[in-house]
Amino acid sequence: MKQLENEYPCAINLVIDLIGGKWKVLILWNLNRSTKRFSELQRAIPGITQKVLAQQLKELEEHGLIIGKAYSIAPARVEYSTAELRKKLQRTLNEMCVWGDQSADAHQIERKECWIGSGAAVR
């Protein structure tokens, strides 16, 4: 797991350690709308491997950004949802989606709709 430092020169460095990388923002984005099981997240994020998804979920959970609720049934089931600390990121993630959508227009890049927390699609 990525260990957090005891001291950072700037708060943005901490943000990068918490949600930086290729997958964490996509995981958080997908949990914006609803609680999801591991398999649902894997289907929603093309290209992520099972191993990497498990590792990223573990880090997000250990850093208090998501909650994994395990059910003692067969087969074993874990549902992931956002933690209170992560919910404060929702506005920022929505703004990132809007900014990405506008940048895609400016660069004439095709993309799928970007779903924001309220359920509305940004296009």
Q: Are residues 34 and 72 in the same domain?
A: yes
Q: Are residues 73 and 94 in the same domain?
A: no
Q: Are residues 26 and 79 in the same domain?
A: yes
Query: Residue 66 CB: number of other CB atoms within 10 A?
Result: 23
Residue 58's CATH number? 1.10.10.10
Q: Are residues 79 and 96 in the same domain?
A: no
Rounded to an integer, the average pLDDT of 20-42 is: 91
6 belongs to a structural domain? no
11 belongs to a structural domain? no
- Are 23 and 45 spatial neighbours (Cβ–Cβ below 8 Å)? yes
Please compute, for residue 97, the number of CA atoms within 13 A of its CA located in the half-sphere on the CB side: 22
Question: What is the total count of domains within the chain?
Answer: 2
Classify each residue of 75-86 as buried b or exposed e, where b means 16 or more C-beta atoms within 10 Å of its C-beta.
Answer: eeeeebebbeeb
Is pLDDT of 97 > 50?
yes
Q: Are residues 112 and 74 in the same domain?
A: no
Pick the more confident residue, 1 or 28: 28
pLDDT value for 110: 79
**Where does the pLDDT of residue 13 fall: very low under 50, low under 70, confident under 90, or very high at 90 and above?**
confident
pLDDT value for 122: 46
**Where does the pLDDT of residue 98 fall: very low under 50, low under 70, confident under 90, or very high at 90 and above?**
confident
Q: Are residues 59 and 29 in the same domain?
A: yes
Q: Are residues 77 and 27 in the same domain?
A: yes
Find the domain containing 96 and state its range: 89-123
Is pLDDT of 54 > 70?
yes
